[in-house]
Structure 1
Amino acid sequence: MQLPQLVNMFGSDLQRRYGEKIHKLSLHGGFSCPNRDGTLGRGGCTFCNVASFADEQMQQQSITEQLAIQAKKANRAQRYLAYFQAYTSTYAEVELLATMYRQALSQADIVGICVGTRPDCVPEAALDLLASYCEQGFEAWLELGLQTAHDKTLRRINRGHNFSCYQNTARLARERGLKVCSHLIIGLPGEGYQEHLATLQAVLEGGVDGIKLHPLHIVTGSTMARAWKAGRLPELVLNDYAVSAGEMIRHTPKEVVFHRISASARRPTLLAPLWCENRWNGMQAVGGYLQSQGGQGSALGVKQRYNPDNVSLLD
C-alpha cells in the first residue's frame, strides 16, 4: 500500500517542498490547560489523559535538550519541525511563549514550528508572534484541537468552547499567513458517519490547510474510562473508523494536507480499542478502504451518500 498515492500526507508534502525528509520533534513546554486549572473547569475533556501521547518527564528538560534527544530518535532526517504538542501550547504570557519558541527556532536544523493548542487560548498577540516567524522564513503551523464541529458533542465531552470559537481563531490565523491544521476525533459519543462528514464539511468551508484524524481512545485517568468500564461507552470498531476516515479523506480537496490519518496510545494507559496500540492498524485499514473506493478528493462532485441537512452543526 502506497499511502502517498492515495492521500496528500504531510511527510510527503514536506519532502517535496524541502527536497529531503523533515521530521517533527515533539516538545513539552510545561503548559497547563484552562480546562484543568479551574479557569474553565477541572478534570479536562472527558477523553483526555495527556500521558497517553506525551512524556511528562520531558518538561524537566529545556527545549534545547528535548530537541537534541528527540533528534537522535528521528529516522533518516537532517532537518526538523519543532512541535509543541502537550496540553495547550499558547496558554502563557506572550513573553514566555516568545522565549520558548525562540529556543526551538534558534537551532540550525529547525525549519519551522508547529504549535498545538485550543481555539479559545490563542490571543491575537500569540498569532502575531507566530506570524513573525513566517516573515523570517520559517514554516509555522497552528494546530487547533477542534475534535468536532457539533456544539452538542463539544458540551458532552466538556470541551469548554464552541465551533464558532474555532472558526474565528482559524480565520484570524490564516489572515496572518499561518497554516492551520484542524484536529478531528472519529468515534466521539453520539456521533457516527454523518456527523463526521458534516464536521469535515464545516471545517473545509471555513478554510483549512491541514487535517489530523484521530480514532477515539479510551485511556486511563479519563472520564470516558469510567463510562467504558461501566459498559456505557462502546469502543470504536476498526472497520467503522476506516469507513468514516476514508470518506472524510475522499471528500477533502487534494491541496489539503493530512498530518495524520490514525493515531496510537501506549498500554497500560490505553484501555480500548486495542487496535489503537499500533497506529499502523488504522493506517492500513484506511488505506485499504481508499484503494477500493478512491483516494483523496475522489468523492468531490459526486452525489454524497449522506444528507448534511439532517445534521445541525450548532445544536
Structure 2
Amino acid sequence: MGLDSYVNTFGVQCRQQFGQRLKKLTIDAKFTCPNRDGSLGRGGCTFCNVASFNHEHGTIETIGEQLAQGRARAQGKSSKFIAYFQAYTSTYDEYKVLKQKYDEAIKESDIVGLCVGTRPDCVPDEVIELLAQYQRQGLEVWLELGLQSANPATLKRINRGHGFDEYQDTVHRARLAGLKVCTHLILGLPGETHEDYIATHKAVLSVGVDGLKLHPLHIVEGSTMAKAWRAGRLPLLSQAEYAYSAAELIRFTPKDVVFHRVTAYAKKPMLLAPDWCGFRWDGLVAIVDNLAKNGGQGHYLSQAACLF
C-alpha cells in the first residue's frame, strides 16, 4: 500500500474536493528575500543555494509561459491545476505587484488553486486579505510558511532572520482570515536531535496548522552549509534515521492535518549529500514501510484516547 493508506495527503484531499489529484505548477515570479537583499542580511539561510545570486532570474519565462510548460509536463495526468509561487519569498513586494502576479497566475479556468510560499515575517495584513479574497472567490488557497524549526538557537544558527514569535503571529492572523496554513519543517538541521523535531512539531500544532511539509536536510552546491559539509563538520541523517523521525511526527499529527509532502529530493550535481536524497522514491518507501509496521497518521493520538 502507498502513502495515502497511512497519511492524510494533499492528493487525498484534492480527490475528495475536486474528484482528481491537482498538479501544482511551480512559478518563479522573480521575487527575492529580505535575508538576501540586505533588509535583514545577505547570503540567505545557510541551507539555501546562493550560487546563482549574481545571475538570478536571468532566463526565467513569464508566469504564463511557466504555467504552460508545467501543463505540458503533466501530460494529461490532471485537467485542473494549482498555481504555486514557490521560489524565494513570494509575498515580498509591493501590494500592486503581488496582485498583478497572482492575478496573472489564476486567470485561466483550469487553475483552481493558489499556493504562496513565503517567510513568516513577510506577510502583512493586506496580503492576507488579498489571499482571503481569492479564497472567497472559490479558489483553493494555501499560505505556505517556511518555519524549518521552532528552536531559537537553530533559527539563529541557520541565519533565518526571524523567530517563532513572527511565525505564531502570522499563523494567527492568516487563520483568523480563514486562510489555510501549511508549515515547512526541516529534519536534520545542525545541532538538532529527534527530540528537537518533536518539540518543533508540538509547538506548531499548539499554534494551529492546516498542513505540513517535511523535508530532510540536504546539502546543495552554493550553500553556506556546503562549506561546513566539505570540511567534515556537518553530520547528516541517514535514510533510516529520517524515515523514523518523519514517521514519528506523522503518528503524532491529528488526522485532519494535511501532509503536502513527507520527504524531498534534489538532483546532482546540485545535490552534494546525502546521496539517498537524490532518489525520488527511496525515502518515501522507507517512510511508508515504517508507517505500515508502526502505525499511520494520528496513531499515537488514537492510542492516548483509548486510555480514557
Q: TM-score, normalised by structure 1?
A: 0.93
Residue equivalent to 1:191: 192
Q: 1: distance between equivalents of 2:262 and 2:141?
A: 21
- Specify whether residues 59 and 136 from structure 1 end up closer, same or farther in structure 2 by C-alpha distance, changes over 3 A only: farther
After TM superposition, give the deviation of residue 57 of structure 1 in Å: 5.8
- Residue identity opposite 2:213 in structure 1: K
Higher mean C-alpha deviation, range 263-272 or range 294-303: 294-303
Residues 29 and 59 in structure 1, CA contact (< 8 A), matched pair in contact too: no
- Residue identity opposite 1:84 in structure 2: F
Residue equivalent to 1:40: 40
User: 1:148-163 alignment to 2 at 5 Å?
Assistant: 148-163=149-164
After TM superposition, give the deviation of residue 20 of structure 1 in Å: 1.7
After TM superposition, give the deviation of residue 60 of structure 1 in Å: 2.6
Q: 1: distance between equivalents of 2:31 and 2:64?
A: 16
Is the partner of 2:103 in helix, strand or coil? helix
Residues 120 and 166 in structure 1, CA contact (< 8 A), matched pair in contact too: yes
Residues 145 and 182 in structure 1, CA contact (< 8 A), matched pair in contact too: yes
Residues 30 and 57 in structure 2, CA contact (< 8 A), matched pair in contact too: no
After TM superposition, give the deviation of residue 280 of structure 1 in Å: 1.1
After TM superposition, give the deviation of residue 279 of structure 1 in Å: 2.6
Residue equivalent to 1:275: 276
Residue equivalent to 1:60: 60
Residue equivalent to 1:26: 26
Q: 2: distance between equivalents of 1:60 and 1:185?
A: 27
Q: Does 1:72 align with 2:72?
A: yes
Residues 53-80 of structure 1: per-residue CA shift (max 9 Å, x gap):
xxx6686311111111111101510000
Is the partner of 2:82 in helix, strand or coil? strand
After TM superposition, give the deviation of residue 224 of structure 1 in Å: 0.5
Is the partner of 2:281 in helix, strand or coil? helix
Q: Does 1:100 align with 2:101?
A: yes
Higher mean C-alpha deviation, range 7-16 or range 175-184: 7-16
Residues 263-297 of structure 1: per-residue CA shift (max 9 Å, x gap):
01111110000100123111111111111100000
Q: 1: distance between equivalents of 2:18 and 2:251?
A: 26
Q: 2: distance between equivalents of 1:40 and 1:59?
A: 27
Residues 263 and 279 in structure 1, CA contact (< 8 A), matched pair in contact too: yes
- Specify whether residues 206 and 59 from structure 1 end up closer, same or farther in structure 2 by C-alpha distance, changes over 3 A only: farther
Residues 90 and 126 in structure 1, CA contact (< 8 A), matched pair in contact too: yes
- Residue identity opposite 1:100 in structure 2: K
Q: TM-score, normalised by structure 2?
A: 0.95
- Specify whether residues 267 and 180 from structure 1 end up closer, same or farther in structure 2 by C-alpha distance, changes over 3 A only: same
Q: 2: distance between equivalents of 1:260 and 1:79?
A: 19
Q: 2: distance between equivalents of 1:25 and 1:301?
A: 36
RMSD over equivalenced CA pairs, Å: 1.6
Residue equivalent to 2:248: 247
Q: Number of paired residues?
A: 301
Q: 2: distance between equivalents of 1:148 and 1:6?
A: 25
Residues 28 and 58 in structure 1, CA contact (< 8 A), matched pair in contact too: no
User: 1:94-133 alignment to 2 at 5 Å?
Assistant: 94-133=95-134
Q: 2: distance between equivalents of 1:61 and 1:48?
A: 22
Residues 127 and 173 in structure 1, CA contact (< 8 A), matched pair in contact too: yes
Q: Does 1:226 align with 2:230?
A: no
Residue equivalent to 1:140: 141
Is the partner of 1:181 in helix, strand or coil? strand
After TM superposition, give the deviation of residue 83 of structure 1 in Å: 0.1
Q: 2: distance between equivalents of 1:5 and 1:301?
A: 16
Residue equivalent to 1:309: none
After TM superposition, give the deviation of residue 2 of structure 1 in Å: 1.7
Q: Which runs of 4 or more aligned residues in structure 1 lie more than 3 Å from their structure 2 counterparts after TM superposition? A: 56-59
Q: 1: distance between equivalents of 2:237 and 2:58?
A: 30
After TM superposition, give the deviation of residue 51 of structure 1 in Å: 7.8
Q: Does 1:209 align with 2:210?
A: yes
- Specify whether residues 50 and 108 from structure 1 end up closer, same or farther in structure 2 by C-alpha distance, changes over 3 A only: farther
Residues 51 and 269 in structure 1, CA contact (< 8 A), matched pair in contact too: no
Q: 1: distance between equivalents of 2:105 and 2:213?
A: 23
Q: Does 1:3 align with 2:3?
A: yes
Structure 1 unmatched runs, 5+: 304-315
Identity %: 57
Is the partner of 2:272 in helix, strand or coil? strand
Is the partner of 2:299 in helix, strand or coil? coil
Is the partner of 1:300 in helix, strand or coil? helix
